[in-house]
Structures are given as structure tokens and as C-alpha cells.
Chain A
């Protein structure tokens, strides 16, 4: 009987990681043809239960730009970080860098506020002790010199150890 209970416990333990994993996969399938890549970090260690900062690095493919977090027109799609709620991980705010002024060569009077090249976001978090996974999606909309591309969602995953 004891062995039976042991095995049942093992099965229950296996079942919970499976459930967590399926929620992680919610972002998959939306990341084809990305113009932005997540450079990392893949893992981070922070102080548990204290306000902490996760610095996230991104690269925009050469020749492309994306709207900043504060584009100059409400019709434009702002860059956002959408955090996936997870037990023990609380995202209190996200700091976005200021954009750079940009204008298309065919429309020089229409000023835009964009990111290009590398940029960094700082997610302010509070995490309970233990091993966690910070999961988020970077929502952005890219253009090149002559065309614009539909909004994308880029998965952002960081393994976090909170001590």
C-alpha cells in the first residue's frame, strides 16, 4: 500500500509541471517571421521577496524599426511587454527606453518615434524564493524603408532563481 501511495505521489508531481508547461506554450505559434530577437538573459538570480529588476535585451534586424512604447500617433501600435501571470512572480512595472526620431524618406514631414538596433527593457519584479520562469511576450510592429508588417508577439522566457 505504501508503494502504491508513493507512486501516486510521483504521478501527481509529474502532472503539475505538465500543466505549467502548457501555459508557457500559449505564446508559441505567434512567433513566425520575427523582426526582433530576444538576446537574453536566459537565466538570472535575484534577491527573493525584494523589488528586483530583470534587464531584457533585444535586437531589431538591420534595416527595420519598430514603434517605441510611446509612438507619436494613436493609430500606431506601441511596443509592449505582456507578462504572463505566474504563481510567485509579480511584475510591478516595465521601464521602456525613449524612442529615436525617424521619418520615412517618402514622407519626411511625418515624424515617428521608433526603436532600431539594440534596445533594453527593465522589468521590475518581486519574486518569492525558489526557481521560477519569467514568461512574457514582446508585442511590436515593424517596418522597413517601404513596407510595414503586421504586429508580432515575441516570446521572452527567463529562468529566475530567487534566493
Chain B
């Protein structure tokens, strides 16, 4: 009798193990299938360089599935991050100022094109209350960030570990990501990808002058008439 009970328990354990194995196997296959499913991938957009030409399905920006959350009109989430000197800096400290929060990374080539623009625009509009905060979206040593910022001639505050606050800022799936915040702390414009210097300045003027976003959205620099391609997943 005792032996039969033991056998019954053992059979039960084996059945449970079999079911667990089957479940894990099924889950793994589903995850792999999902990873290879084109419909789960980011929308394809044409390249501005020597890559394949645009196709009908990628020509219209309105066709792009924009996976970047639209934060315009929302109050910017506060953050407290360390700057290059180790000092804590909070976004809320700048309430009453027009703030451009620019997320970047050392491996991001487009980011390095616009950062010298920001440096000049910061100097130009500082007297009108503009503050630019550069936030790295990667976890690398402070020295490497400082070296990169210095090589770009950037003197505005650079904050570290923006990757830790990515969820509050739409996930930061593409860089550069910039948020133009008015004096009330509301995000007026939001961009992903490189925009022309003129467009950047226009968006700065809007937050400095307290005007809301423009009706015709600008496009990333490589999608304008001087270059090929449609905008990446950005909006403004």
C-alpha cells in the first residue's frame, strides 16, 4: 500500500515535470518566432546614404508606425541625475526657464552633429532664459563622457545615466532624442533623430517665447529636400 502511494506521487511529479518542459518549450518557440516576425520589427524607413532606394511602402511619413510615445503637452517628468562633477541636478530646479533636454550617447553619430549647435544656441539664448541639459543615455564611465563632450566643445551641463530614466521619457529608443520644455515645465516639442539647425532654433524660440508647437511638423535633417529619405520615428 505504502509502495503504491509512493509510485503515485512519483508519477505525479513526472507528469508535472513533463508539463513544465512542454510549457517552457512552447514559450521559447513563441518568443523566437516573435523575434523573427517582421510585423514586430520597427517600421522600415529609407536611408539617406547609398543604401536601397525608397519604396512605395516607406515613402509617406504618415505610414510609419510611430512607436515613440507622444509626450507633447504633458508636464516633463522630473529627474535627478549627477553631472560630470558629481553634483546632483534636478529638472525641477529649472522651473521658470525654457529647457532643452537632449539625450545622446557616445556611439551616436547624429548626436555629435547637433551638440556643437546646442553650445552656440545656449550662448545665444541664455539671456532669454534658455537652459540646455545634455543627458547621456548609456552606462559608461564618467571620464569617457567628459572626454567625448570636451572633444565636441560642449560646455553646457552634461548629466549621466539617462538610461535609468528612459521609461519616463518615452523609452529613448532612438537617439538623439530632444524635449523642448516651456517655462511651466510642459513639453512643447519632441524629436527623435537629427533635425536641421534652423528647425532646432525654431523650437528653441518657441519655448523661449512661450509659443506652442507649430502646425506643420519639421522633419529630420536627412529627410529634407537636400537629402534622400523619410524621417525616422520622430515627431514635433
Residues in A lying within 8 Å of B, measured CB to CB: 3-4, 7-8, 10-11, 14-15, 17-18, 21-22, 24-25, 28, 31-35, 37-38, 61-65, 75-77, 102-107, 110, 112, 116-117, 141, 143-151, 154-155, 157
Contact = CB atoms under 8 A, between A and B. Distances in A.
A150 B110 CA distance: 13
Contact of A146 (B35, B106, B110, B138): B110
Best-surrounded residue of A8, A18, A34, A150 (most CB of chain B within 10 A): A150
B203 interface: no
B194 A143 contact: no
B175 interface: yes
B128 interface: no
A37 B38 contact: yes
A63 B221 contact: no
B41 A145 contact: no
Best-surrounded residue of A3, A10, A102, A105 (most CB of chain B within 10 A): A105
B234 to A, nearest CB: 7
Nearest to A145: B48
Contacts of A112: 109
A155 B222 CA distance: 32
Contacts, number: 178
A154 B41 CA distance: 12
B21 A14 contact: yes
B123 interface: no
A145 B6 contact: no
B221 A106 contact: yes
8 contacts: A17-B21, A21-B28, A33-B41, A64-B44, A106-B110, A117-B51, A149-B175, A151-B107
B21 A4 contact: no
Given A3-B7, A4-B10, A117-B51, 19 more contacts: A4-B6, A11-B14, A14-B17, A14-B18, A33-B42, A35-B42, A37-B36, A37-B41, A62-B46, A62-B52, A64-B44, A104-B222, A106-B113, A106-B221, A106-B222, A141-B107, A145-B49, A147-B192, A148-B108
Interface string B9-22: 01101100110110
Best-surrounded residue of A102, A144, A151 (most CB of chain B within 10 A): A144
A59 to B, nearest CB: 10
A35 B51 CA distance: 15
B10 A145 contact: no
Interface stretch (B88-96, B180-188, B224-232): B224-232
A15 B231 CA distance: 51
